[in-house]
Amino acid sequence: MRVFVIVLPLLLAACATSTVEPVQTPPEQVVDHHNSRNSLDWMGVYRGVLPCADCPGIEYELTLSADGGYRLATRYLERQTEPTVVNGRFQWNEQGSHIQLDAAGEHAWYQVREGALLRGYADGSWPSGAQIETMTLTQQR
């Protein structure tokens, strides 16, 4: 009986100190529906001078309207005194982060950023590094 009295508390203590691992549930994925289209104040006038292969640059003024319309004025520096102006429509990509101008705007792509538009290259690639600054139009406030 003494053995039972000694063993029983030891067994109970062993059971009491065993740890049960809690069941880990995966964290809920938060879906962020914010994008440039619905989170940024993108309407307005954007200006900048973009690179030109055979002149000092091309002066751009792109105005985006809430209804999907745009006005684009471009002027080749040291070649034109008056800008060439086209009007047209633009469309958002499915993710709401980029716009594309229609044929009048040569189907140009722009990434919509906070206070700026980044112009994509004609081959479909995007500027990187130091090129980003030279391909950016700044929103006028």
For the chain, the structural domain boundaries read 36-139
pLDDT digits (tens, 9 = 90+) for 63-85: 999 999 999 999 999 999 999 99
CATH code, residues 36-139: 2.40.128.640
pLDDT digits (tens, 9 = 90+) for 37-53: 777 889 999 999 999 99
Q: Give me the pLDDT at residue 28, please.
A: 65
Which CA distances in Å does 79 have to 56, 59, 60, 83? 10, 11, 14, 10
pTM of the model: 0.75
pLDDT of 21 over the 60 cut:
yes
Q: Give me the pLDDT at residue 39, please.
A: 74
Q: For the ranges 5-14, 36-45, 92-101, 123-132, which has the lowest average pLDDT? A: 5-14
List phi, psi (to 5°) of 100.
-130, 130
Which CA distances in Å does 32 have to 73, 81, 93? 35, 46, 17
DSSP state of 111: E
